[in-house]
Amino acid sequence: MDDVLTAPMVVEFPFTRSLGPVLSAFLTGLRERTVLGVTATDGRVVVPPTEYDPVTAEEVRDLVEVGQTGTVTTWAWNGAPRRGQPLAHPFAWVLVRLDGADTALLHALDAPEGPGSVSTGMRVRVRWAQERTGAITDIACFEPAPHDPPPPGRPAAHPGTFPEPVTGIVAAARLDYTYSPGRAQTRYLNALAEHRTKGERCPRCRKVYVPPRGACPTCGVATGEQVEVGPAGTVTTFCVVNIKAKGLDIDVPYVYGHIALDGAGLALHGRIAGIPCDQVRMGLRVEPVWTEGGRHPDHYRPTGEPDAAYETYKELL
Amino acid sequence: MTRTEAGQVAVVAFAQSRHERATDGSSEVEMLLPVLRDVLDRTGLSTGQIDFTCSGSSDYLAGRPFSFTMALDGVGAWPPIAESHVETDGAWALYEAWVKLLTGEAETALVYSYGKSSAGDLPEVLTRQLDPYYLAPLWPDSVSLAALQTRALLDTGATSERELAGIAARSRAAAADNPYAQLRGGSVDADAPPADAYVAQPLRRHDLPPVSDGAAAVVLAAGRTARRLTARPAWIRGMDHRIEAHSPGARDLTRSPSTRLAAEHAGLFDPGAPPVDVAELHAPFTAQEVVLRNALRLGEETAVNPSGGPLAANPVMAAGLIRIGEAAARITRGEARRAVAHATSGPCLQQNLVAVLESDGSAEDGSAEDGLTEGGEGA
Ligand SMILES: [Zn+2]
C-alpha cells in the first residue's frame, strides 16, 4: 500500500471571554497582589471563587480576602514541563488550600530540591509574576514557606472593588497535530500529482466519488475501486465572484463553478478562466489547467467542444 | 406511539476495532467503517433498518472540524436518517439512544464512537476541556491531574503503590485473552518492588493507560425486536449519569459521589438484586479503579475489567462505550447474569455514567421470560 500522506497542522485559537462580577474581582485582585475568595451558602470559603454556589447554584457575591500562604493538599511531580505550563524547569503540581479558604487552588510549586522536598501538608506561599494582567498566571507559582501554622480566625470581608477592573480574558491556545487525509484521499492526491483525477466507485450503487472520502455516504460501505475520470468535464452551475478574498491572489471578477468531470458521479468545484465571465454557462465543456509544481488544477478552461446537453448532467446539479 | 418500559431495551450487538497506538494512516471514517459493518452484520440489520443513530466523538482529538459529519459517510445517511451526536464519550450517545428507545419513538438504535488520539498530543489536547479561567491557562495535562488524584488517595492509606501495580498487572494479564486490546499480557510483576520509573510521581508507567486509536459500536433494540435480533439480549435495567464540580480543588478526589448516585439511580443497589458478576470500569488510571470499586460497593465476587479495561486499550471517546459493550458481551456469551458498566468524562472522574445490565431470568420478579416478549407494545 502507498504511504499515507501526512503534514504538520497547527490549530491556534484565541478565545475572548467575559468575566462575571466574582471572576472579575478575583482576577483584578491577582493583578493587585490580593487573593479573594467567595463565601458559599454553607459558609465555606471557595478559592478560586465561583460565580455560583457549588452546591445550590445560588448567586454568591460575598467576597473575602484570604492568605497568600497555604497548605498543600495533594501534589504530583512534573519532571518534563510542557509548553505553556507555569515553569520551564521540573516542578510539582499542587493543590493549595490558602489560609482562610476551604477549597484548594491548582498551581505549580517551584521546588528546586526535587520531589523529595515536597509533601502533602507542607506550607507554601504565592510567588507573584513580575508583570500582572489580571489572569491566573499573575501567580507565577508557589514556593516553599516556613512551617508555621495557619493564622487563626476567619478571613475578612473585601469589597472586591479595584480601579480599572479587568472585564475579560483572552485565552490563547495552540495545538499541534500530524494531519493525515486517510487512505482514499492519499490515493486521490497522489494521482493529482501526476495530473490525473481518480475517483472511487461504490460497490453497491456504482456511483463514482470525486474526490473520494473512503466510503459511500449513501450506502455506508467502503469504496475501493479506483476510476480515472475526466480530464474534461461539464460546468453544471457557477457563480461570478466580485469580492476579493483575503490572501487570495486572483483578480475579481472571476467565475467559480461546479464541474462534473466525465465519468464522475458528482461535481467538484473549481475556478473557470480563459473565457469572459459573462460567457460562462451551464453545459460549458472545460478541462483542467495545471501550473508548474501544482498538485491541484489551477483552473479549468473551455475545451472548445459543443456544450453538453442538459440531460447529460441534470442528475449532477 | 407507546412508551417502552425501562428494562425493556437491550444491547443486542457490540463491535470494536483492534485498538492500536496509531492506525495505519486511515481517516476516522476508514477506521470506523469496518466496526459499523461488523456490528450490523451481527444483527443482520442494514443501515436503512436502524431507527435512530447517535455518535460520540471530539474534533479536538484529531484536529478535524466537524469530523463527525465525515464519519456519517460510514453510516449511509441517505435517504435522510434520524441522527444525533454528542461531543463526549459514546457512552453518553448510548444514553441518548436509550432514552429515545424508551420514548417509543424508535425500536432500534445504532450507537458508535471513535477517537484518533495519534494525530495530536493527547494529554495536552485534554487540557482544552478544562475551565478556561483558572485551569486551562496553566496547561495541566491529564496525566498530572490523575497523579494529583492518585497522591490524594495514597495519602488516605486507602491504597498503596503495590496495590496499584497489582491493578495494572491484573488488567494487562486479563487483556491477553482480548484480541482487541492494545497492551496484552503481563509485563508487571505486582509482587516485585515497582521497577518502572515514575512518569509523574506517584504515577509509574504501568499506572497509565496507553494512548490509543480506536472505534466501537453498539446496537440497541427494544422488547420483541431485541429478542428477534439476538438469542441473549443484555437488558439495560437502569442507567444514569451524574456530574460533580469541575474544579479539582473543590472536590474530594478520593471519593466519587457522582458514581455512587448514578449507581443508585441505575438500580445497582436495589434490595434483593442478584450479585454483580462483572464490572467494566472506565478507570484509565489505576487509582481510579480503587475509587470506583468503593463508589460501586464492589466486592470479591465481582470480576473487574476482565477485558483488560482502559489500562489495556484507551481510545478516548470510545473507551466508555466499550465498557458497556464488553459488559453486555459477557451476558450475551452467558458468562454473566448481571453486570455493571461505568463510563467517565472530564478530569479526575468528574462525570460518571453507570449502566446495569442483566440477562433474561436474572430479575427477581420472574417476569422476564414472558413480560419482555411484549416489548415495545407494553405499558
Ligand atoms: Zn453507494
Asked if residues B327 and B339 have their Cβ atoms less than 8 Å apart, the reply is yes
**Partner residue facing A179 (CB), from B70, B119, B125:** B119
Q: Mutate which of B83, B121, B138 to test chain A, going by most A C-beta atoms within 10 A?
A: B138
pLDDT at B293: 98
Q: In this predicted model, what pLDDT tens digit does every residue of B275-308 receive, in sequence order?
A: 999 999 999 999 999 999 999 999 999 999 999 9
**Partner residue facing B25 (CB), from A76, A96, A186:** A186
Q: In this predicted model, what pLDDT tens digit does every residue of A205-240 receive, in sequence order?
A: 999 999 998 899 888 889 989 999 989 999 999 999
Residues of A in contact with B198 (CB under 8 A): 77, 79, 115
With CB atoms and an 8 Å threshold, state whether A218 touches B248.
no
Residues of A in contact with B149 (CB under 8 A): 74
pLDDT at A171: 86
pLDDT at A217: 87
Provide the H-helix boundaries in B85-200: 90-102, 122-125, 142-156, 161-174
Q: Which of B20-29, B246-255, B364-373 has the lowest mean pLDDT?
A: B364-373
From ligand 1's centre to the CA of B214, what distance in Å?
Answer: 25
Residues of A in contact with B249 (CB under 8 A): 48, 73, 95-97, 103-106
- Smallest CA-to-CA distance from B56 within B122, B127, B115, B16 is with B115
- Cis, peptide link before residue B202, omega less than 30° from 0: yes
Q: In this predicted model, what pLDDT tens digit does every residue of A25-74 receive, in sequence order?
A: 999 999 999 999 999 999 999 999 999 998 899 999 999 999 999 999 99
Query: Hey, what's the cell of B156?
Result: 488516605
Q: Mutate which of B72, B144, B243 to test chain A, going by most A C-beta atoms within 10 A?
A: B144
Measure in Å the smallest separation between the Cα of A55 and chain B Cα atoms. Answer: 9
Pairwise CA distance, residues A283 & A265, whole Å: 16
Round the average pLDDT of chain A to a whole number and report it.
94
- A144 falls in which pLDDT band (50, 70, 90)? very high
- B77 falls in which pLDDT band (50, 70, 90)? confident
Residues of A in contact with B112 (CB under 8 A): none
- Domains by residue range for chain B, with CATH: 3-120+211-358 (3.40.47.10)
Pairwise CA distance, residues A313 & B4, whole Å: 48
Round the average pLDDT of chain B to a whole number and report it.
91
Query: Hey, what's the cell of B166?
Result: 497489582
From ligand 1's centre to the CA of B148, what distance in Å?
Answer: 50
Residues of A in contact with B147 (CB under 8 A): 76-77, 93
Q: How many residues does chain B have?
A: 379
Q: In this predicted model, what pLDDT tens digit does every residue of B110-137 receive, in sequence order?
A: 999 999 999 999 999 999 999 999 999 9
B183-203: average pLDDT = 74
> Would the pLDDT of B374 be above 60?
no
With CB atoms and an 8 Å threshold, state whether B151 touches A23.
no
- Smallest CA-to-CA distance from A65 within A156, A175, A171 is with A156
> Would the pLDDT of B107 be above 70?
yes
With CB atoms and an 8 Å threshold, state whether A169 touches B133.
yes
Listed in sequence order, the residues at least 6 apart from A2 whose beta carbon sits closer than 8 Å to its beta carbon are A186, A187, A190
Q: Which residue of B has its CA nearest to A178?
A: B119
> Would the pLDDT of A143 be above 50?
yes
Give A247 or A296, the one with higher predicted confidence: A296
> Would the pLDDT of B379 be above 60?
no
pLDDT at A246: 82
Measure in Å the smallest separation between the Cα of A280 and chain B Cα atoms. Answer: 32
Hey, is the C-beta of B81 within 8 angstroms of any chain A C-beta?
Answer: no
Q: In this predicted model, what pLDDT tens digit does every residue of B300-341 receive, in sequence order?
A: 999 999 999 999 999 999 999 999 999 999 999 999 999 999
Could you list the beta-strand ranges (E) of B117-227.
198-200, 203-204, 213-222
ipTM of the complex: 0.91
Q: Which residue has the cell 467538484?
A: A268
pLDDT at B370: 39
From ligand 1's centre to the CA of B222, what distance in Å?
Answer: 29
Hey, is the C-beta of B82 within 8 angstroms of any chain A C-beta?
Answer: no
Q: In this predicted model, what pLDDT tens digit does every residue of A158-207 receive, in sequence order?
A: 999 999 999 999 988 999 999 888 899 999 999 999 999 999 999 999 99
From ligand 1's centre to the CA of A201, what distance in Å?
Answer: 8
Pairwise CA distance, residues B301 & B340, whole Å: 13
Residues of B in contact with A6 (CB under 8 A): 25
- C-beta neighbour count of A309 within 10 angstroms: 10
pLDDT at B151: 98
Residues that place a CB less than 5 A from ion ligand 1: A 202, 204-205, 216, 218-219
Measure in Å the smallest separation between the Cα of A41 and chain B Cα atoms. Answer: 14
Query: Hey, what's the cell of A137?
Result: 498566571
Pairwise CA distance, residues B76 & B61, whole Å: 24
> Would the pLDDT of B31 be above 70?
yes
Q: Which of B160-174, B194-208, B360-374 has the lowest mean pLDDT?
A: B360-374
- B186 falls in which pLDDT band (50, 70, 90)? low
pLDDT at A1: 47
Q: In this predicted model, what pLDDT tens digit does every residue of B206-230 receive, in sequence order?
A: 999 999 999 999 999 999 999 999 9
Asked if residues B11 and B357 have their Cβ atoms less than 8 Å apart, the reply is yes
> Would the pLDDT of B198 be above 90?
yes
> Would the pLDDT of B193 be above 60?
no
Q: In this predicted model, what pLDDT tens digit does every residue of A266-292 receive, in sequence order?
A: 999 999 999 999 999 999 999 999 988
First-to-last C-alpha distance (Å) of chain A: 35
Classify A79 as helix, strand or coil: coil
B243-248: average pLDDT = 94
> Would the pLDDT of A247 be above 90?
no
- B263 falls in which pLDDT band (50, 70, 90)? very high
Position B269, amino acid: F
pLDDT at B106: 96
- Phi then psi for B354, rounded to 5 degrees? -130, 130
* Percentage of chain B exceeding pLDDT 70: 92
**Partner residue facing B119 (CB), from A82, A103, A177:** A177
The most confident of A75-89, A171-185, A248-262, by mean pLDDT: A75-89
B35-60: average pLDDT = 94
A108-125: average pLDDT = 97
DSSP 8-state code for residue B229 = H
